[in-house]
């Protein structure tokens, strides 16, 4: 992702190479784009982590339910069956 930001910054600087003020503006735009890209990646990473956690909890619950069903189905002790 950093390579894309670097390419965008280089392109912006090349296009805006007319005056130092234009160069500064282009550099600020590139820095802002890099900051926003970094924040978007951080947010996406957090969302993926949250989804993975929820998936893990769902799998754990399903596994426990399946294990309990098997335990109940194979339980030979009549005292444990109502």
Q: What is the pLDDT of residues 26-82, one digit of tens each?
A: 889 989 999 999 999 999 999 999 999 999 999 999 999 999 988 888 877 777 766
Helix H or strand E segment including 82: none
Q: What residues contact residue 17 under an 8 Å CB cut-off, 6+ apart?
A: 23
Which tokens is 44 given? Answer: 């996406």
pLDDT at res. 20? 80
Domain boundaries, the chain: 2-66
Higher-pLDDT residue of 21, 58: 58
5: how many CB neighbours lie within 10 A of its CB? 17
């Amino acid at each position: 992702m950093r390579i894309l930001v670097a390419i965008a910054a280089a392109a912006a600087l090349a296009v805006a190479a007319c005056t130092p003020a234009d160069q500064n503006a282009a550099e600020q735009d590139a820095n802002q784009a890099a900051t926003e890209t970094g924040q978007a990646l951080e947010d996406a990473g957090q969302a993926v982590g949250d989804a993975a956690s929820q998936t893990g909890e769902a799998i754990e619950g399903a596994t426990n339910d399946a294990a309990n069903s098997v335990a109940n189905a194979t339980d030979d002790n009549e005292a444990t069956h109502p």
